[in-house]
Structure 1
Amino acid sequence: MKTRLVLVSHAPTAATRAVAFPRDEPLDAHGLADATALAQLLPRADEVRCGPARRCVQTAAALGLAPTVDDGLRDADLGRWAGRTLDDLVAERPAEVESWLTEARAAPHGGESLHDLLDRTGHWLRAVPGTVRTLVAVTHPMVIRALVVNAIGAGPASFWRIDIAPLTATVLRGDPGRWTLRTTAGRLDHAGRPGRRRAP
């Protein structure tokens, strides 16, 4: 049996809107309203999971889901960069940012390298039970990007070429040994299927 894996990115937070690396902050008022407006629009799922961060738990609740918290869906650990904007870091530490963007094993922030994130999410993807027909997972854009890279067997550089917006669904179909990317970064629509993303 093939599994349909629907990866939902959490609703916006203050950090999302400031283009900053997040801490464990809650959804902002607009993000909560956006998620609530989309409640019950996801496809019926045999299993629902979410990352442990407040923004994932709150997004799932606002969408009308009752997930199991899954630590494997936690966000990338960006260490001391949490709460900082990329623009500030580029201005202050350009060499560190450059190494992070170009070297998969670099972790100048003291947290998790891209290599480590890809390895962790690869293990998670391989552990998806083949007996589940539809699994909905509410998680983070970086985690979804890493899962897509693993699913299609792409190299680490591909991670930076994938754009995942808040409250979008990325759909993978397959089983632990073979996945197909069906839809990426589609805005949740009223039919419970990924639709076209709104322009930024």
Structure 2
Amino acid sequence: MTSRVMLISPAISVALREARFDDGCPVDAAGLRLAEAAAGSLPTADRASVSPSVRCRETAAALGLAPLPEPELAGLDVGRWRGATLAEVSADEPEAVARWLADPSSAPHGGESVRDLCERVAKWLYTAADLGSGRIVAVVEPEIVRAGVVRALGAPESAFWRVDVPPLTATEFSGRGGRWNVRVGQALAG
């Protein structure tokens, strides 16, 4: 049986606008309106899931989903950098940021490495395929989408930073037995 997984990136938030590492802020009013306008445009799901972040839960609700939170879909843990902008961290710890961006196994912030995130997401996708549970729709952080694309395509983890994930876009994975086809960046109709 072919498994289908649709990962939807959350609506825009102040943290996304400011290139700030997620600090639990909600989606902004404009993002909420766009998500509400897209409600009803999603395919029927056999299972709905959501990253545990505020912005993902709010986006899912605005889209009319009643998802189950899944800790495996939590965003990248950036440790002590949480809440700071990339510019602030780059000014305070330029060598650490350079190492983090160049080495997927590096976690100078004390959190999770990109490699570990990619492994976590790959396991989740593999389990989703094993369940054979039809179509799964999940509202997830952009880095979860990036990690899924990297693993599904068999790309090196260094490609993680080369995948752009705009707000309120869908990336679809279809396949079986751990082999995925990927359709990226579809804007939600609204």
Q: Return the TM-score normalized by structure 1.
A: 0.91
Aligned to 2:35: 35
Aligned to 1:197: none
CA contact (8 A) 1:46 1:133 kept: yes
How far residue 130 of structure 1 moved from its aligned partner, in angstroms, is 4.3
Q: Does 1:58 align with 2:43?
A: no
Aligned to 1:81: 81
Aligned to 2:49: 49
Match of 2:171, SS? Answer: strand
Q: Which amino acid aligns with 2:30?
A: H
RMSD of equivalent CA atoms: 1.2
Task: Compare the two structures and name the one with the higher helix fraction.
Answer: 2
How far residue 133 of structure 1 moved from its aligned partner, in angstroms, is 2.1
CA contact (8 A) 1:2 1:130 kept: no
Q: Distance in 1 between matches of 2:88 and 2:54?
A: 25
Instruction: Give the paired residue count.
Output: 189
Q: What pairs with 1:162-181 in structure 2 (closer than 5 Å)?
A: 162-181=163-182
Alignment gaps of 5+ in structure 1: 191-200
Aligned to 1:193: none
Q: Distance in 2 between matches of 1:30 and 1:110?
A: 33
Match of 1:118, SS? Answer: helix
Structure 1 range deviating more: 139-148 or 128-137: 128-137
Q: Which amino acid aligns with 1:16?
A: L
Q: Which amino acid aligns with 2:35?
A: A
Q: Structure 1 residues 88, 153: closer, same or farther in 2, change over 3 A?
A: same
How far residue 176 of structure 1 moved from its aligned partner, in angstroms, is 4.2
CA contact (8 A) 1:130 1:176 kept: no
Q: Distance in 2 between matches of 1:112 and 1:99?
A: 14
Match of 1:137, SS? Answer: strand
Q: What pairs with 1:105-144 in structure 2 (closer than 5 Å)?
A: 105-128=105-128, 129-144=130-145
CA contact (8 A) 1:127 1:176 kept: no
Alignment gaps of 5+ in structure 2: none
Deviations 1:92-150 (A, max 9, x none): 21111100001111111111111111111111111004422211011000011001111
Q: Distance in 2 between matches of 1:149 and 1:130?
A: 22
How far residue 49 of structure 1 moved from its aligned partner, in angstroms, is 0.6
Q: Distance in 2 between matches of 1:4 and 1:118?
A: 19
Structure 1 range deviating more: 151-160 or 129-138: 129-138
Match of 1:164, SS? Answer: coil
Q: Distance in 2 between matches of 1:55 and 1:3?
A: 26
